[in-house]
Amino acid sequence: MFRRTAPALLLLLLGVPGVLSAQYFGRNKVQYSRFDFKVIQTEHFDVYYYDRERTAALDAARMAERSYGRLSKVLNHEFRERKPIILYASHSDFQQTNALGEAPGEGTGGVTDFERNRAVMPFTGSYGEFEHVLQHEMTHQFQYDIWSHGRAGAGLQNLIAIAPPLWFAEGMAEYLSLGPINAETAMWLRDASLEGKLPTIDQMTQDPYTYFPYRFGHALWSYIGERWGDEAVGAILKATLSGGIEPAFKRTIGLSLEQLSDQWRDAVQKRYLPEIGARAKARAIADELLTEKRSDGTLHLAPALSPDGSAVAYFSEKNFYFVDLYLADGTTGKVKRRILKSGISSNYETYRFINSQANWSPDGKYLAFAAKRGPRDVVVIVDVARNKEVKHIDVKLSGVTTPSWSPDGTQLVFTGYDGGLSDLFVVNRDGSNLRRLTTDKFADLHPVWSPDGSTIAFATDRGPRTDFKTLAIGNFRIAFYDLATGTIRVLDHMDHGKNVSPQWAPDGRSLAFVSDRNGVSNVFLYELGDQQVYQLTDFYTGVQGITPLSPVLSWARQADRLAFVYYEAGKYDVYTLANPRSLKRSPYQPQAVDSTPMLARVSTPPIDTTRSLQVRDEVRPQVGEGGSIYRTQNGFRSSSELARSGDTTQAQLSQPVSISALMDSANYSLPDTSEFTLKEYRVHFTPDYIARPSIGYARDNFGRGFSAGPPFR
């Protein structure tokens, strides 16, 4: 009854649209902290924050106005009233919010409700990832604003009549916050094409738990934007007000959903199926360790091999609803037991399994991992043989991820979250002598101690492309922190792609990491001797966890075995490589990533330009046959049409609006903080609607209690 496929659990982890969660607003939940909110008033938003996140909140307010400028341009829509954005300094704080009915799950990045058009989200420690979530949630604010005709919550009947599928709402939000297909979405498309499980639009509509709407919806909207122009996205959204989803597509692009589905699926398969012969599956070069057949479950996340490789700790839903920490044999994958408990334990509400992993002490006796206990995260140390907690370290920070042991077993380094920012911290194993290593706005994630104890490797967005004045955030790179001098060195050959999840080789001369620099997440090696990068794997799908920033590697120092998470057939499995450096060949040479548009591989008839285009109501089959449409001052036109009279006196095309180009421009619509007004927050209570009173009794592992609901909301 509780067992679901990986995409189903992912949907629950990442959250459904705010339309659904809005209906639970007002229920009580445990609040450990008092948040004294203040307000940053910008031109289009009221940004709610509290003092310790003030610095990050001011940057977020600037990002919000920039995101508004981008989305307003693409969707051709402006707000009539300011929208609320509620910010929390960490996920632990976010889970105490009373702006939502139920506590957000571990994987909920943000929520937007329909009734108030509130976007509620935590800082993630990475400005780049935070802006992705912010622009995603703001897309929902635009959707709801259009459907409610500019008055928050006023268009409930429209929303019910339109009944937007998840692929429509969430896919559009992903496209307008990420841009065209990225490495993660491409991974899902390659896998679905290979397994023969690429869904139709109807399947995505009817069964979003099987066909993950975030990734497949993102791919569909990318195809639409590429083929008909990004102007079509806003045109379709607005057209839903006159008849719903299917008529909106027919009116704008001249295709039914069935026709669009067929053409999109054909384009995806022609784009990705030819890559099968050029790349390998994990089992071709590595050994299976944790799979559904061997270990149950479809999620096997953040593996941590014991020093001798005889055991592996990992996060999994197994055949239960909650994601917990399990211990399995390091060779056969046979599950030994669950390590403590999380979701059904009175001690820990959740383990940090999305962007964190457990780590073994050098002697192989203890595991350290991050968990939420009460108001904040703690570092938990467990005696593995006795399956008993021996210590939990409360570091008085907003959040904690990925604690890693020093080689002598006396200290732990971890990523700590303070005021919405992430930094590196070190603490003694008994909880004493907490020391902060970095203090800045850069993201500092996935720290791991070198075998000689002199250096900490970590993933960071430091680099020439990151500029906090313009809030331009560069790609993730691997860097070294020298403990003796406190200096940081970003490694060479990290200019492209996402580079994360570093793991030291047993002798400390090499460093494995994951990079998607060639369009697919693979395992790479950095050699300290020649300071060169080597590609070790060339997989068909990819080495990745639930998110691109999930840690996925573990290197057993005594056994010289490397474990990694591999995505295949809609599941996250763990494989191992013995002596991984034996796969090293010549130094990696950058290759041009195949960015051939999907529609370029689809044969389409020529566009009929003999008919004139109407702005809204006329079905335009010539556009539906594969052309692009652009908006001018006089309305829409086909990309093959000459500019109309009044647009220009020359036969040239007007510049199309592109979400990709807008996102590449850091200065576009970016305000200065001097334009903002900072105000105190005053609480105002107003009822939302009248309902029947209710009363209930609850009993679970947390205790017993009564609940009740008032006759109004």
484 and 549 both lie in a single domain = yes
Q: Indicate the pLDDT class of residue 12, thresholds 50, 70 and 90.
A: very low
**What tens digit of pLDDT does each residue of 375-411 get?**
889 999 999 999 999 999 999 898 999 999 999 999 9
Together in a domain, 121 and 270: no
Two structure tokens written together for 546:
């639930």
What are the tens digits of pLDDT across the range 223-238? 999 999 999 999 999 9
CA-closest candidate to residue 534, choices 509, 555, 557: 509
pLDDT, average across residues 674-699: 68
Higher pLDDT pick, 624 / 61: 61
Could you give the percent of the chain with pLDDT greater than 90?
72
Q: Does the residue 378 lie in any domain?
A: yes
CA angle (403, 406, 409) in 5-degree steps: 100
Residue 6's beta-bridge partner residues? none
The C-alpha atoms of residue 4 and residue 689 are separated, in whole angstroms, by 35
Residues 354 and 452 in one domain: yes
Please report whether residue 45 resides in a domain: yes
Domain closes at, from 536, 552, 583: 583
For 502, list phi and psi in degrees, rounded to 5: -70, 145
Closest CA to 491 of 523, 527, 517, 516: 527
- Report, as an integer, the average pLDDT of 176-188: 96
State the pLDDT at residue 271.
94
In this predicted model, what pLDDT tens digit does every residue of 63-91 receive, in sequence order?
A: 999 999 999 999 999 999 999 999 999 99
Quick one: pLDDT at residue 655?
72
3-class SS string, 126-178 = CHHHHHHHHHHHHHHHHHHHHHCCCCCCCCHHHHHHHCCCHHHHHHHHHHHHH
**Of residues 140 and 710, which shows the higher confidence score?**
140
Q: Give the 3-state secondary structure of 692-704.
A: CCEEEEEEECCEE
Classify strands 119-122 and 350-351 as parallel, antiparallel or unpaired.
unpaired
pLDDT at 638: 53
> Is 421 in a helix, a strand, or coil?
strand
Provide the β-strand partners of residue 572. Answer: 299, 567
Kindly indicate the confidence band of residue 689, based on its pLDDT and cuts at 50, 70 and 90: low
HSE at residue 711, side-chain half, CA atoms within 13 A, is 1
> Is there a single domain that holds both residue 200 and residue 215?
yes
Average pLDDT, the chain: 85
The candidate with the shortest Cα–Cα distance to 543, out of 303, 199, 209, 215, is: 303
CATH classification of the domain holding 302: 2.120.10.30
Could you tell me the pLDDT band of residue 688, with boundaries at 50, 70 and 90? low
User: What is the per-residue pLDDT for 361?
Assistant: 98
Residue 593 pLDDT: 56
Q: How large is the angle between the packed helices 213-228 and 245-253, nearest 10 degrees?
A: 30
What does DSSP say about strands 510-515 and 522-527: parallel, antiparallel, or unpaired? antiparallel
In the predicted model, what is the mean pLDDT of residues 3-24? 37
User: Residue 189 in contact with residue 274, Cβ under 8 Å?
Assistant: no
State which of 267-281, 339-353, 513-527 shows the largest mean pLDDT.
513-527
The reply to whether 183 and 295 lie within a common domain is: no
Judge whether 646 lies within some domain.
Answer: no
14 falls within a domain: no
Is residue 4 in a domain? no
Spatial contact of 138 and 67, defined as CB atoms under 8 Å apart: yes
Indicate if 630 and 532 belong to the same structural domain.
no
In tens, the pLDDT along 422-431 reads 999 999 999 9
User: 550: helix, coil or strand?
Assistant: coil
Give the pLDDT score at 376: 87
More confident residue, 606 or 579: 579
Distance CA 47, CA 651 (A): 46
C-alpha–C-alpha distance, residues 284 and 364, integer Å: 30
pLDDT at 98: 86
Q: Which comes out higher in pLDDT, residue 100 or 112?
A: 112
Between residues 159 and 637, the one the model is more confident about: 159
Residues 152 and 189 placed together within one structural domain of the fold:
no
Q: What is the DSSP letter of 199?
A: P
Assess if residue 560 is contained within a domain. Answer: yes
Distances, alpha carbon 365 to alpha carbons 384, 387, 698, in Å: 6, 10, 39
Residue 656: how many other CB atoms lie within 10 Å: 14
> Are both 170 and 313 inside the same structural domain?
no
Residues 86 and 197 in one domain: no
Over residues 598-652, the pLDDT tens digits come to 654 443 333 332 322 233 333 333 333 444 454 444 555 554 444 444 444 333 3
- 460 lies in the same domain as 399: yes
Alpha helices in 517-592 (DSSP H): none
SS3 74: helix
* Residues 414, 400: Cα–Cα separation, whole Å: 7
Question: What type of residue sits at position 330?
Answer: G
Token readout for 436 is 């902060």
* Cα–Cα dist 51/56, whole Å: 10
- Residue 504 bridge partners (DSSP): 511
- Assign 367 to helix, strand or coil: strand
Identify the CA nearest to 512 among candidates 459, 550, 548.
Answer: 459
Domain interval for residue 660: 163-278+603-639+653-669
Q: What is the pLDDT of residue 141?
A: 97
The per-residue pLDDT for range 35-45, each reduced to its tens digit, is 899 999 999 99
Q: Is residue 590 part of a domain?
A: no
What is the average per-residue pLDDT within 301-321? Answer: 92
Structure tokens at 99: 């702006």
The helix or strand, by DSSP H or E, that contains position 214, with its residue range, turns out to be: helix 213-228
Which of 532-536, 542-546, 632-636 shows the lowest per-residue confidence on average (mean pLDDT)?
Answer: 632-636
How high is the pLDDT of residue 617? 33
- Half-sphere CA count of 672, side-chain side, radius 13 A: 2
**CA-to-CA distance for 70 and 355, rounded, in angstroms?**
29
Q: What is the mean pLDDT of residues 439-463?
A: 97
Task: Give the C-alpha separation, 101 to 117, whole Å.
Answer: 15
Nearest alpha carbon to residue 392 among 429, 423, 355? 429
The model's confidence at residue 691, banded by pLDDT at 50, 70 and 90, is low
Per the CB < 8 A criterion, the answer to whether 576 and 562 are in contact is: yes
446 part of a folded domain: yes
The length of the chain in residues reads 713
Give the pLDDT mean for 351-361. 94
Cβ-in-10-Å burial (0-12, 13-18, 19+) of 707 comes to: exposed
Q: What is the pLDDT averaged over residues 242-262? A: 96
Considering the domain architecture, whether residues 301 and 326 belong to the same structural domain is answered as yes
Three-state helix/strand/coil letters over 271-328: HHHHHHHHCECHHHCCEEEECHHHHCCCECEEEEECCCCCEEEEEECCCCCCCEEEEE
SS3 623: helix
**Using CA atoms, how far apart are residues 623 and 613, in angstroms rounded to an integer?**
9
* Interstrand relation of 38-41 and 45-49 (parallel, antiparallel or unpaired): antiparallel
Please report, for the domain that includes residue 694, its CATH number. Answer: 3.40.30.160
* Residue 351, φ and ψ in degrees, nearest 5: -90, 150
Q: What is the pLDDT of residue 27?
A: 35
Among 443, 436, 377, 401, residue whose Cα is nearest residue 125: 443
Least confident of 207-211, 251-255, 339-343, 679-683: 339-343
- Which positions ≥6 away from 583 have C-beta within 8 Å? 285, 536, 537, 577
Q: What's the rounded Cα separation, in Å, for the pair 581 and 336?
A: 30
Same domain, residue pair 103 and 195: no
Q: Is the pLDDT of residue 343 over 90?
A: no
How many distinct structural domains can be found in the chain?
Answer: 3
Is 444:415 a contact under the CB 8 Å cutoff? yes
